Amino acid sequence: MPLTTTDPELATILALARALAEDAGSIQRDRYETKLSIETKSAAIDLVTEVDRACEELIVKGIQAARPEDAILAEEGYGDDDDRARFRWIIDPLDGTTNFAHGFPRFCVSIGVEREGERVVAVVYDPLLEERFEAVRGEGAWLRDRRLTVTSETDFGRALVATGFAYDVHRSEDDNLASFHNVVKSARGIRRDGSAALDLCYVAAARLDAYWELKLHPWDVAAGFLIVEEAGGRITDFRGGPADREGREVASSNGPLHAALLAQLEPGAP
């Protein structure tokens, strides 16, 4: 049985988010390993391609046509954000741009929706594996017709853990390397696969036991946070405080491993 909801507002939004994520995903699939026009943004290693922009334009236009009253925060700047709107869509049109630009097969579309500031709908679509992770508040997290549950691992020494590095890593001292060192030395394995949204979905899907990263953005985490929460996982900042929807410090785990994960992480600048 796939994800359903009896809330008619959320059912409409879920259907739209699924359709837009799959349409954007098919652009990514078609353009994968083709010649791309690539530019840089905040740093020489922070890339944006024509495909990021085409996917965002498709998603934003689709929302504006169907739901002109909703606010949209989208990474490449096509949306109109407004804190006062009842619904707010938070979009990463292509999470994993570096991978996409190099032909490394790990990237996705991420769409999260808030109702009055509360995360309510999430869709993350991996177009190459054709995996659509999704969640509705109170209705669980799903992959196809499988309801997702985090792992039950209790020993950090048996944990598979993922992380990532911000685009200012060449020049910032707050670079995640001390935490990375600690986890390499204590967990069973560590991965840096290059898509924060998929990393969160993989915690939800019990493919990872934990994931952390700093200096993310709202579009990296809006969908993934709800998917982890609905799969029974935990998300906090690096001190165990509430999840930061801006993504500045993200520690996520199956729950039993959370204290052990936090113990490995070096808190950044307050």
Q: Which residues bind ligand IPD (CB under 6 A)?
A: 92, 95-98, 164-166, 194-196, 213, 216, 220
Burial of 173 (0-12, 13-18, 19+ CB in 10 A): exposed
Site size with Ca ion, rule: CB under 5 A: 5
Quote the longest CA-to-CA distance of the chain: 51
Question: Quick check: 193 binds Ca ion (CB under 5 A)?
Answer: no
Supply the minimum distance, in Å, between the C-beta of residue 164 and ligand IPD.
3
Supply the minimum distance, in Å, between the C-beta of residue 57 and ligand IPD.
16
Q: Which is nearer to ligand IPD, 99 or 139 (CB)?
A: 99
Supply the minimum distance, in Å, between the C-beta of residue 134 and ligand IPD.
18
Q: Residue 116 CB: number of other CB atoms within 10 A?
A: 9
Dist CA 121 CA 10 (whole Å): 7
Q: Residue 244's binding partner, choosing from Ca ion, ligand IPD, none, with beta-carbon cut-off 5 to 8 A by kind? A: none
Dist CA 9 CA 89 (whole Å): 14
Burial of 3 (0-12, 13-18, 19+ CB in 10 A): buried
Among 70, 87, 90, 92, which residue interacts with Ca ion (rule: CB under 5 A)?
A: 92
In sequence order, what are the beta bridge partners of 160? Answer: 189
Q: Under rule CB under 5 A, which residues in 238-267 are in contact with Ca ion?
A: none
**Which of these segments, 6-14, 15-23, 24-32, 218-226, binds Ca ion (CB under 5 A)?**
218-226
Dist CA 61 CA 257 (whole Å): 41
Q: Which is nearer to ligand IPD, 67 or 245 (CB)?
A: 245
Q: Residue 195's binding partner, choosing from Ca ion, ligand IPD, none, with beta-carbon cut-off 5 to 8 A by kind? A: ligand IPD
* Two tokens, residue 157: 């020494």
In sequence order, what are the beta bridge partners of 111? Answer: 91, 123
Q: Which is nearer to ligand IPD, 136 or 198 (CB)?
A: 198
* Two tokens, residue 41: 């943004």
Q: Which is nearer to ligand IPD, 22 or 46 (CB)?
A: 46
Dist CA 268 CA 221 (whole Å): 18
**Which of these segments, 94-102, 145-153, 234-242, 254-262, binds Ca ion (CB under 5 A)?**
94-102
Supply the minimum distance, in Å, between the C-beta of residue 97 and ligand IPD.
4
- Which residue's Cβ has the minimum distance to ligand IPD? 164
* Residue pair 133/3 in contact by the 8 Å Cβ criterion: no
In the chain, the amino acid numbered 50 is E
Supply the minimum distance, in Å, between the C-beta of residue 253 and Ca ion.
21
Supply the minimum distance, in Å, between the C-beta of residue 162 and ligand IPD.
9
Query: Residue 89: which of 131, 127, 56 has the closest Cα?
Result: 56
Q: Which is nearer to Ca ion, 107 or 180 (CB)?
A: 107
Footprint of Ca ion (CB under 5 A): 75, 92, 94-95, 220
